[in-house]
Each structure stands twice: as C-alpha cells, then as structure tokens.
Amino acid sequence: MARVAIVTGGTRGIGEAISLALKEAGLNVAANYAGNEERAREFTSRTGIQSFRWDVADHEACLNGVKEVEAALGPVDVLVNNAGITRDGTIMKLTYQAWKEVIDTNLGGCFNMAKAVFPGMRDRKWGRIVNIGSINGQAGQYGQVNYAAAKSGIHGFTKALAQEGARAGVTVNAIAPGYIDTDMVAAVPGDVLEKIVARIPVGRLGQAAEIARGVAFLCSEDAGFVTGSTLSINGGQHMY
C-alpha cells in the first residue's frame, strides 16, 4: 500500500511541485491549502491529488485536518511543512500583527503539523518530515525580520526534532531554497530581481521542480540515514 504524504501549501508554487514529485514517487498525496478554493479545485482536477483546507497557524485545525486526511487516505507517513507567507517591512514599519502572522504560519505551522503526525510515525517506526526553510533564514534579509526569524527557527526546530525521532525511524530534515521562480518572487520589482539574480553564482533563479526533487529524496527509503540536515538549494548564493 502506498505511503501517505501531506504537503502544506501544496497546491501552488514550490508546494505544487513537491506534491507532484511525491505523487510521481508513488506516494498518496494530500495537498493542504489555506484559502484559495478555486485554485485548489483546479489543482485537484488537473493533478488528481486531493486537496484539504485548513490554516496551519491554527493548532486545532491542524489536528482535525490530519484526522480528515487519515480518514480519507490512511495514516500519514510523510509530512512536508511548506506553507509560508510574507509580511515584509523594516522593523520601524513592521506591525506586531505582521510579525505574529508570519511566525504563527511559517514556524508555528511546523509545530502544529508535527504535533499531529509525529506520534503515529513514532508508533509505526517510520516517518519522514521535511521542513522548508529559506536562504533568508540562513543569511538574513533586509526588511524581513519576521520571515528570517521564522525560517531560521525552522532550522533549529528540525535539528531538535530529528534527535527525538532518530531511534524511532523518523527522520527530520530541512531544505533551504534560494530564490525560486514562483509567484512570490515574480512579485518582486524587476530592478530588485535583477540585482538578486546578479548575486546568484549560477546566474539564474531556481525552479520549483529542483526543490521538489530534493524533497522527494529526503522522503524516500534511501534517505534513512539522513536526519537533522539542512540541504541548501540556492545556486551557490549562500554557502557555509
């Protein structure tokens, strides 16, 4: 029987590419989304991947959402914490609400979802959790103290949870994408984007499928000895 995977924010951008890659790898995928029902319906119709709506920032909604997925598809073996938002602004302009929304979604969502699936993975002695961080959580970014803090927190969260899951066959890893050619990056003004690309040694933006391939490996049987690791996929823009 196919293993079951949940991809949060899984109906668009990097999340869509991850959902498709995991389906291609033979997993039974549930794509979570927060609000755009029309986009989710189109995604499900086009891909055949079921979509499930809940807000990852809402702890109870995550617990109930996982129960809904399990009732439809079976126990969850793989979790990809991909859902994320931006509310950019320098700290002089950043509101508490903008800080809280980004922390609660990008970092709190990882806790909420892991809390819902980790006990079952541990009991079954097999699981894969992949958390999507960011180059900006590693290197920082002007005007993104909320986003950088949340993404940086993901890398620490990953290492700590990896230690809890290791002996139970549950691996926990992170991927830190660089600048990827998605709707989020397309919203960046053209002159700013030019300067960003100029700082990427390979000379281009990344593709969502390149992130998805990394996720697919970390979710596979072959990655059983990889845990607590962060895989940077950023075209050489940040190395350490």
Supply the residues annotated as catalytic: 147
Record the tokens describing residue 145, joined without a space. 């103290």
Hey, is 182 helix, strand or coil?
A: coil
Contact 36, 60 (CB under 8 A): no
Strand boundaries in 4-152, DSSP class E: 4-7, 28-33, 50-53, 76-81, 127-132
**Distance, CA of 68 to CA of 87 (rounded, Å):** 30
143: left (phi over 0), alpha (psi -120 to 50) or beta: left
Sign of the torsion formed by the C-alpha atoms of 198, 201, 204 and 210: negative
Which among 179, 183, 206 is positioned nearest to 193, based on CA atoms? 179
